[in-house]
Amino acid sequence: MNYSDLIKAAVEIKKNSYSPYSKLKVGAAVLMDNGKIYTGVNVENSSLGATNCAERTAICNAVCDGETKIKAIAIASDNEEYILPCGICRQVIAEFSGSDTDIISTRRNGEYKVYKVKELIPEVFKL
């Protein structure tokens, strides 16, 4: 599948990141089952526990619009290495996707890798 539009959305939105503490700007874009793309950025806080990652911001934006089924998610940063979701974000992604949902991880140079949810969180917590 061609994810160029999804990756482009994640790269473009990262400029809006509020990251005065880590200096790591992260953007995320989620492609929902209906074809709509929602974006988000990391929003840091001096009380680090109040920080929100880009992935969760994008997912919350989709849920606020009534969308709850993720088809794919792209994550972009200025890192040399591939950026991957943290543990909390992996759990939130799993809540709104299937085990075969694609997670696209990018590098600053534009290269990307595609992972499946089941690769990044093989034993997902479910109630």
**Which residues are part of the catalytic machinery?**
55
Other CB atoms within 10 Å distance of the CB of residue 123? 6
**DSSP string over 3-37:** -HHHHHHHHHHGGG-B-TTT---EEEEEEETTS-E
Cβ-Cβ contacts under 8 Å for 57 (sequence gap 6 or more): 28, 40, 41, 42, 43
Say if residues 94 and 119 touch (Cβ distance below 8 Å).
no
- Among the listed residues 91, 96, 95, 59, the one whose alpha carbon sits nearest the alpha carbon of residue 74: 59
The one-character DSSP state at 77 is: E
